[in-house]
Homo-oligomer: A and B are copies of this chain.
Amino acid sequence: MSTAPKRLNIHEVATRDGLQNEARFVDTDAKIALVNRLSQCGFAKIEVTSFTSPRAIPALRDAEAVMQQITRVPGVIYTVLVPNVRGAQRAMSCGVDEVNLVMSISESHNRTNLRMTREQSFAQLRDVVSVMRETGVAINVSLSTAMGCPMEGDVPVAKVLGWMRRFADLGVHGITLCDTTGMAFPSQVSDLCRQAIDALPQLELTLHFHNTRGMALANTLAALDAGIDRFDSSLGGLGGCPYAPGATGNVCTEELVHMLDLDGYDTGVDLAAVLDAAALLPDLIGHDVPSQLLKAGHRLDLHPMPAFAADGIPEQRAFAQQGA
């Protein structure tokens, strides 16, 4: 009987997937300080920034400065998003540990998000893989809309497996299946994960959930049950897709870690340090964050009894019948 808790890998994406959506430009120094804080939290991987065109994503126009000036902690994988060969070259010049490529499983979302057909995206990413191959730097591919497309609806598992296989054939080491607009539901997640693990056991498989319809943690349970041990999450629940009206953010790191800790998994993540970091976000970005745990605190953060209840029991108020 095994007594060691199962080890999971938590990938923090707030400084890329979160900040790219923010209207306010977060100062380069503040970004560096945030990544440095996150580096102390015990994450397996941190997605630091995105080497996209500064015109496309002005919020991350300081990608080189951030990547070069952070204090890297040994054992943490520092990854960045790159859209093309130019981005890969910029990332390589900063000595990243991994590049993360992105395309969508659904044609409509790829056109909307990347302004290309999927075949154009694939050709561009194949070029990136070619350039990267001799460097020894790891390559991950994030596949958007893998559990549903806000414009097309259901996305067949066979399509997801097909695109996974094409990237596996190029020699990438990891794939992230992204529930870009929170369309995934538990039995679907479980089925997709099992099929993906069966079909492509050589790939490191990560799940990336959004909490758009409240199911991110339920979907995490389903993925765990299917054998997944790598999860993207975003501090404070920052993030969300600009093309999905009403969408809330990525699954919230502190809520994910809180649940996984309680369920006996070894996430390696220091929840108190994560909550301290999350508490800085509202000032940094100028608005509240979706995190409920940040408001409610750890389940065992206890509250004092009101004086009337602790000191005595006024019988005449015994009619006060409140919530269940």
Contact = CB atoms under 8 A, between A and B. Distances in A.
Interface string A159-184: 00000000000000000101011110
Contact of A299 (B57, B87, B185): B185
What is the interface of chain A mostly: helix, strand, loop, or mixed? loop
A268 interface: no
A112 to B, nearest CB: 4
A42 interface: no
Contacts of A213: 255, 258-259, 292-293, 296, 299
B150 A20 contact: no
A15 interface: no
B324 A102 contact: yes
Interface string A255-292: 10011001110000000000000000000000000001
Nearest to A47: B324
B322 A242 contact: yes
Q: How many monomers of this protein are in the complex? A: 2
B186 A305 contact: no
Interface in A221-279: 221-222, 232, 239-248, 252, 255, 258-259, 262-264
23 contacts: A13-B324, A17-B323, A20-B322, A21-B323, A53-B320, A56-B320, A81-B321, A102-B324, A111-B313, A113-B320, A115-B314, A115-B317, A115-B320, A150-B302, A153-B302, A178-B324, A188-B262, A211-B214, A217-B217, A221-B221, A239-B323, A241-B323, A242-B322
Interface of A: 13, 17, 20-21, 50, 52-53, 55-57, 81, 83-84, 87, 100, 102, 108, 111-117, 120, 124, 142, 144, 148, 150-154, 176, 178, 180-183, 185-188, 208, 211-218, 220-222, 232, 239-248, 252, 255, 258-259, 262-264, 292-293, 295-297, 299-300, 302-306, 308-310, 313-315, 317-324
